[in-house]
Amino acid sequence: MELEEGMVRKIAISVGAVGLFVALVLGIGTTFNDGGLGSTGGLALVGSIVVFILVMAGVGIFLAD
């Protein structure tokens, strides 16, 4: 099965955005880990989810050729 011309670029951008989200969640987990996530870490995690949703929406609009 061959990929279309721009499909590899689309896959790479999407995987990169998901990898960035995973790195952000891991960073929040290591930064705010004081025997538990705590309220500040929880807010940071919710903020990262909101940022991920907005980034994926932007990526979708960018890749919609």
Query: How many whole angstroms separate alpha carbon 63 and alpha carbon 38?
Result: 37
pLDDT tens-digit map of 9-63: 899 999 999 999 999 999 999 999 888 888 899 999 999 999 999 999 999 999 8
Quick one: how far is CA 49 from the chain centroid?
A: 8
Q: Which residues of 29-58 are buried (b: 16+ CB within 10 A; e: fewer)?
A: eeebeeeeeeeebeebbeebeeebeeeeee
Q: What is the pTM of this model?
A: 0.81
